[in-house]
Chains A and B, each alone.
Chain A
């Protein structure tokens, strides 16, 4: 049998070879159909069981995967989804037929959407449909896929993907599907190659035994000739070696071509960002945003909740320094019930440390949680939006008071070093005057306040340039103040990850840059090219 070459769209990169598992859509039959009241109850019970299943799954995952399942949970919990099905049942339809028809109509609406992103959500609706149908028929929900296999089919649901073991290789090749689908996001996160849009996979009734998948080029070869397979395997070996070399570079310390050691730290928006990351890729955590603690939850997070999250990050860092920023709400980050609504210019209003000092009852809880966490590692605390020295002094006095109170209660704690973010030009101009344990330059706000140009206004976007001499001179001034005072200076804005600016930033004397985990390897490579 001749090998079959198919070309589709790359959805997740990488090469894979393995036995083919063909996904089939098994339709379980319900034997008994009751009267409308019984059918309504059956559908209700099946939806509730499916919802409970999704909610249980959410508890076992984090980050992107949890977001995907939370979307499914929100959809299935919404009565609007089953409305049409209940109507059909009261008109005499069986529960499974009514549910399938209602969901198929919903799915058709997604499949015909203009926007690819919305089209890709059809797979989530199929997932919900089949989960409920499985409960209605009492069948096992998802077919198990053997680890290491190349899964071929029309499309695949997130549930089917999650039920498989991807640690032993394997890949996904689909007749339909989309690079924007939740499964594609999952595949990229798990490193499983994926090709979509291959067109009909007919095989004339004889499915292939083996497949070669190129997730970079978007091609698949079924039942390859021995020579084709040998060439592919040598490509895989070369790719694995190159990958290992890049990974090795990511782990090593960053040095410029001239041999200057640059610390590369991580920016963390939520503790899940660190899942699966080796702390050896960084010299510590340069910025932990704490806003995530305040947005999703119901009401303000209590001391123990905050402490648990701070501990988790400190424990992950294995002794490396971790800098946590106190709540930076306000401006473009409103928090209902905490920030002030209706400010004429929120960026010049009650935000960052100004808000924390105005709401001491909220700020104290965070300072207590941070002091307790500081007893377990190298923790530093930084204050956002500091403008004048008295703000740092007032925060320092509150931190001292909370530490004393904790000690008096016999609770383990340590007083963390307290530093300031330099993001207001006033603070950069007189950085020497602050009794700060360190400086961390927030280049996003420093740029927008210096250049008087917002980041999200397209018409002035060219003015919002961290590489402008005015901004670079404020950065250099802060670095100089740190040198005179003998304290560390780092930079944690988006510009740290902009490798076009690496030379200019290091020319200011900066030796510490903090970036998102995904940018670490790129930044280290850019640092290695800098001659100074």
Chain B
């Protein structure tokens, strides 16, 4: 379930960018925020999210900051990832959002 527009940087110098739509029922609320930050923390890469492709960017490893974004259902979540394990990190974040955080 990869975003077809995910840009693949050749090295690690450029951050990877991709987006996914929040399909779960009530948006990026308590449980999804916890799941998202837990997933992000498994990677060394710097992972940020935003509601627009130009930011402002929020640290995806901080549940307090992710909750402050108050992303509603149907919003497009943009990810910006930089680091050695950036590719799997981005794939994991997109999979989680596309899967509706397993909430159906």
**Chain A residues within CB distance 8 Å of chain B:** 67-68, 70-71, 74-75, 78, 80-81, 106, 109, 113-115, 117-118, 121, 124, 180, 182, 295, 332-334, 336, 341-342, 346, 456
Residues of A within 8 A of B67 (CB): 75, 118, 121
Q: Which 4 residue pairs across A and B have the least CB separation, nearest first?
A: A80-B64, A71-B30, A334-B95, A74-B63
Q: Which of B56-102 contact A (CB under 8 A)?
A: 59, 62-65, 67-68, 70, 72, 88, 91-92, 95, 98-99, 102
B1 in contact (CB, < 8 A) = yes
Given A333-B99, A342-B2, verify A115-B70 contact (CB < 8 Å): yes
User: Which of B1, B27, B98: most chain A CB closer than 10 A?
Assistant: B1
B103 → chain A closest CB, angstroms = 11
Q: CA–CA, A332 to B70, complex, Å?
A: 25
Residues of B within 8 A of A334 (CB): 1, 95, 99
**Chain B residues within CB distance 8 Å of chain A:** 1-2, 23, 26-27, 29-31, 33-34, 37-39, 42, 59, 62-65, 67-68, 70, 72, 88, 91-92, 95, 98-99, 102
The answer to whether B88 and A336 have CB atoms under 8 Å apart is yes
B22 → chain A closest CB, angstroms = 12
B89 → chain A closest CB, angstroms = 10
Chain B at the A interface: SS class? helix
Given A334-B99, A336-B88, verify A117-B27 contact (CB < 8 Å): yes
The answer to whether B31 and A71 have CB atoms under 8 Å apart is yes
The answer to whether B70 and A70 have CB atoms under 8 Å apart is no
A308 → chain B closest CB, angstroms = 22
Residues of B within 8 A of A333 (CB): 99, 102
The answer to whether B91 and A113 have CB atoms under 8 Å apart is no
The answer to whether B64 and A332 have CB atoms under 8 Å apart is no
Q: CA–CA, A21 to B37, complex, Å?
A: 39
The answer to whether A346 and B30 have CB atoms under 8 Å apart is no
Q: CA–CA, A106 to B27, complex, Å?
A: 19
The answer to whether A341 and B2 have CB atoms under 8 Å apart is yes
Partner of A124 from B2, B30, B68, B99 at Cβ < 8 Å: B30
A519 → chain B closest CB, angstroms = 14
16 additional A-B pairs beyond A114-B72, A117-B26, A334-B95, beta carbons within 8 Å, are A71-B30, A71-B31, A74-B38, A75-B64, A78-B65, A80-B62, A80-B65, A109-B68, A113-B70, A117-B29, A118-B67, A121-B30, A332-B99, A336-B39, A336-B88, A336-B92
Q: CA–CA, A117 to B33, complex, Å?
A: 13
The answer to whether B70 and A74 have CB atoms under 8 Å apart is no
Q: CA–CA, A68 to B67, complex, Å?
A: 14
B40 → chain A closest CB, angstroms = 12
Q: CA–CA, A40 to B95, complex, Å?
A: 40
Given A74-B37, A334-B1, A334-B95, verify A118-B70 contact (CB < 8 Å): yes
The answer to whether B29 and A118 have CB atoms under 8 Å apart is yes
Residues of A within 8 A of B62 (CB): 78, 80
Residues of B within 8 A of A118 (CB): 27, 29, 67, 70
Residues of A within 8 A of B68 (CB): 109
- Show 20 residue pairs from A and B whose CB-CB distance is below 8 angstroms, ordered by the A residue: A71-B31, A71-B34, A74-B37, A74-B38, A75-B63, A75-B67, A78-B63, A78-B64, A80-B59, A115-B72, A117-B29, A118-B27, A121-B67, A332-B98, A332-B99, A334-B95, A334-B99, A336-B42, A341-B2, A341-B91
